Amino acid sequence: MSVLNSASVPARHPALRGARFVLIGVIVNAALSAIKGIAGVLGNSYALIADAIESGLDVFQSLVVWGGLKLAAVPPDEGHPYGHGKAEPLAAIVVSLGLFAGAILIAVESVREILMPHHAPKPFTLIVLIVVVITKETLFRVASRIGAAIKSTAVKSDAWHHRSDALTSAAAFIGISVALVGGEGYEAADDWAALFACAIIAFNGLRLMRPALGEVMDSAPDPAIEQEVRRIALTVKGVESLDVCWVRKMGFDFFVDLHVEVKGDMSVRDGHDVAHRVKDAVRANNPHVRDVLIHIEPKG
């Protein structure tokens, strides 16, 4: 059966590794969102309630990332000969937009709470926040390592969701501490902390969206990848020099367009053989290179 007609997903596909960890994040976020929401209501802390809302959004956004990774892992078919890799950066863009939406929602509610006098938060909320910060920072570090290992923009964006949650929880901890230590007149300190956390969330949304948009627009990846392709191609017998070398990222794979210059009197068959040797050498050197499209040109 042709690869183009295969609907199976390779068991060792990097997207599946990322998807499994994202599901773990979904479970943890759902549990933390419930805990923070209950503690925020019982403890009179809007910073903690805002943190719970952000964690709730994380559940939805992590499911988007999971779906994007599962789709990106589907092999090429007749309708998608280059595969489904674009689903991965598209999922990252949706996650980034979710961060912006969460920042706006929390900011509006924080301002409302600042303008309305309320009771100071309860001390037990600090214990909840310490547990949250440790848990979310751990998830961030693990997800970052996985995202870097499988070169996934979506998993990296999901990792920064965990870091954003850790930062908002840390800000809430500071705000509640100020409210408790300051006493009367400082009740709104945790609301100001929630407002500050909004800026962090929005910044992370912008930082994550840029590389995802670049990938969707076929921006050139790390220059080191092109340099390595050129270096390998020039070691192949029959290659005189190189002209164009374009690389684009499609999900977890790279596609290369390469213009190879050979001797002008070389036969078509020999030029064809050189092209195959170059393609095989480049793909053998970097397993993430899915295909190399080579154009043979006469030297001089």
Taking 50 as the threshold, does the pLDDT of residue 23 lie above it?
Answer: yes
Residues 206 and 260 occupy one common structural domain: no
Taking residues 6-32, what's their average pLDDT?
69
Spatial neighbors of 206 by CB under 8 A, at least 6 apart, are 96, 100
Of 183, 199, 216, which closes a domain? 216
Burial of 139 (0-12, 13-18, 19+ CB in 10 A): buried
**What are the tens digits of pLDDT across the range 83-106?**
787 887 888 888 788 778 878 877
H or E segment to which residue 46 belongs: helix 46-72
State residue 272's pLDDT score: 92
Q: Which of these, 69, 63, 65, lies nearest to 30 by C-alpha position? A: 63
State residue 209's pLDDT score: 85
β-strand partners of 255: 248, 291
| CA distance linking residue 53 with residue 213, whole number of Å | 26
Residues 233 and 189 occupy one common structural domain: no
**pLDDT above 90 as % of the chain:** 18
Around 106, how many Cα atoms within 13 Å sit in the side-chain half-sphere? Answer: 34
Number of domains in the chain: 2
**What are the tens digits of pLDDT across the range 197-213?**
788 778 878 877 888 88
Which is more confidently placed, 236 or 156? 236
Of 216, 240, 275, which closes a domain? 216
| Strand 289-298 versus strand 253-262 pairing type | parallel
Residues 163 and 38 occupy one common structural domain: yes
State residue 4's pLDDT score: 37
State residue 13's pLDDT score: 63
Domain containing residue 148 = 3-216
CATH number of domain containing 130: 1.20.1510.10
**pLDDT above 70 as % of the chain:** 91
β-strand partners of 248: 255
